[in-house]
Structure 1
Amino acid sequence: MHGNSVPDSYVYVTEEGVTRHYADGSVDALAWEDVVEVRVVGDPDILYILLDRDGQGCVVPQSATDTAFLARLRYLPDFDLDRLGEAVDAARDDYVVVWRSPEPPSPLPDFEYD
């Protein structure tokens, strides 16, 4: 039978964050406000890896990106689209960090309990 096959995964990009749904039902999601690092790796396809400060993240294949994803990356503080383009052009098996948050994560406040 011919027809549209079910994709291995699909990605939603919103103003709030990025969500990737896998064919097995698992989901990776990350809010834009939690992104502290963006990496690019060629595996052999180009992958964008968004990480939070705990090392959790969302892997976005280039094939699942659109102009909304790239436009949203530009809103990260001091994000350089030229650096991203260079990293994509030179992508190999090892990752390249194309952006890190310029602000260190704030420490959690100490709470005193009575």
Structure 2
Amino acid sequence: MHGNPMPDSYVYVTEEGVTRHYADGSVEALAWEDVVEVRVVTEAGEDVLYILLDRDGEGCVVPRSATDATFLARLRYLPDFDLDRLTVASDSAHDGVVVVWRSPDPPSALPDLEYD
């Protein structure tokens, strides 16, 4: 029997966040409220990658081939997100990484903790 090969990964986009499941069983997940930066990675002949990062530099890599209108619509909810900037970076013929959005809120300082 012939069928479609198992995908290398698949992506779920919800109102809460983005999750990518890899064929090896590993998972990357990031809640929308934790996203502080969005990058676009372009490489000739390769799929465009959207990288969502949190304050610790951890994140979720989303291939453009795995995105749909839900993903793009949800990005627009990020404060001052510019969808046109994302489109220009994604369609670029140049290889590289472009930061298309950063959170306008500075990282919050850790509170001073007192120990007994």
* Short-chain TM bin: over 0.9
Query: Superposition pairs for residues 39-50 of structure 1, below 5 Å?
Result: 39-43=39-43, 44-50=46-52
| RMSD between superposed Cα atoms in Å | 1.0
The aligned counterpart of 2:74 is 72
Query: Superposition pairs for residues 1-114 of structure 1, below 5 Å?
Result: 1-43=1-43, 44-90=46-92, 92-114=94-116
Tell me the percent identity. Answer: 82
Q: Decide which moves more: 38-47 or 71-80.
A: 38-47
Tell me the amino acid that sits aligned with residue 68 of structure 1. T
Q: Decide which moves more: 1-10 or 52-61.
A: 1-10
Q: Which runs of 5+ in 1 are unaligned?
A: none
Structure 1 position 92, deviation (Å): 3.4
Instruction: Name the TM-score, length of structure 2 as normaliser.
Output: 0.94
Structure 1 position 4, deviation (Å): 2.0
Runs of 4+ in 1 over 3 A off after TM superposition: none
Tell me the amino acid that sits aligned with residue 5 of structure 1. P
